[in-house]
Amino acid sequence: MSAARLWLLGACALAAASAPGRARGEGASSAPQAKPASQSKPAAKTAKRAAPATAKRAAAKPRTVAASRAWHTPTPGKTAPVDDAGRPMLTLQALNMPERVTLAASGDHGGFSAEDLDRAAHLLRDPRSGDEHPIDPRLLDLVYRVAVRFSAHEVRIISGYRTPRHGRHSNHAKGRAIDLVVPGAGDEDVARFAREQGFVGVGVYPTSGFVHLDVRDRSYFWVDSSGPGKRNRTRGILADLAAKSDARAVARGEHGVGPFAIATDVDDALAAARRESQALAARGPAGAAGATSDLDHDDDDDDEASAP
C-alpha cells in the first residue's frame, strides 16, 4: 500500500475519533461512564443527608392519614342505641383510653342527668394527668345533636378536659370543649351543622383530621392547618355567619354561656340555668345585647390520639 493511501486512512481514523461524543466513548449503544470520584462524592453526601429527612416525612404522613381514616370509619353493623322510648342515646368512645359510656337524653335536643354528666366527665378526663372536671351540660347537648344529625353509633373523642397550663387559655380547661370525630361523617359536614347551633366555637383541623366544638358566649369559627404537636396556624372564618347563628339562637330563647361556676347540687344548678334561659327568652333578642365575648379561639390544641 502506498504511503499516500496510508496517510489518508490515518487521517480518516483521527477525524472519526475526534467527532463529538466519540472520543468519550458515547454512542447509541454505549452506556454513560461514571463521573470521577471527586465529582460524585459531594452528590452522595447530599443524598445521604436528605434521605433520613425524606424517609421520616414519608413515614409520618401515612401514619397520620391512616389514623384519621380509621377514626372516621364506622364500625360495620353498628347503629346508635335507643332508649325505651325509641330515642337515640349518645355513646362517647375515648380514643386515648379504651373506655366508652352510653348516655340517655331526656329530650330530642339533649338533656342529661347529673349522674350521666359525671360519667361523661370521667371519660373526658385529662389522660395525661388523670384530672377530671365537670362538663358543661350545653356542650354535651351540642354533641348529642351532632350525633343524632349524622345517625352516629358513637362519637369518638380525641380530647376533652385538659389541665390548665401556665400562660395558656382554652375552653378545654373549663369543661366546655371537645375535639371529636363522627364516624361516617366528613369533618366539614360536622362543622357546617355545628355552626348553625349558635353560641359555639367550631374549629376544623384538616391536617390532624378532627373537629373542635365548644360552647361560649359568642360564636367563633376557624380552620387550623397545623399538625399534631405543632404550633397553631389558626385562621378565623365566616364571621358574618357566626353573628347570624347567634341571633337565630337568641330568637329561639337561647343564650351564650356565662362565667363558669361549680355548684354543690347539680340538679339545682341545671334548673337555675333553665330559668335564666326562659327569662332571657321573655326579654327577646335585646336580652343578650349586653353579652361580652371571651373569644377563646386560641385552642392550644396539641393532643394526639391512637386509632380505635
- Is the pTM above the cut of 0.75? no
pLDDT in 10s for each residue of the chain, 308 residues = 444 444 444 444 434 444 444 443 344 444 445 554 445 455 555 555 555 554 555 444 445 556 788 999 999 999 999 999 999 999 999 998 889 999 999 999 999 999 999 999 999 999 999 999 999 999 999 999 999 999 999 999 999 999 998 767 789 999 999 999 999 999 999 999 999 999 999 999 999 999 999 999 999 999 998 877 778 888 999 999 999 999 999 999 888 776 555 555 656 655 655 565 555 444 443 333 333 233 333 445 443 343 33
178 in Cβ contact with 214 (< 8 Å): yes
- Report the C-alpha gap between 224 and 135 in whole angstroms: 24
The values of phi and psi at residue 234, to 5°, are: -85, 135
> 136-191, pLDDT tens digit by residue?
999 999 999 999 999 999 999 999 999 998 767 789 999 999 999 999 999 999 99
The most distant pair of C-alpha atoms in the chain lies apart, rounded to whole Å, by 125
- pLDDT value at residue 280: 44
Cell triple for residue 13? 481514523
pLDDT value at residue 228: 76
- Summarize pLDDT for 53-76 with one digit per residue, the tens: 545 554 444 455 567 889 999 999
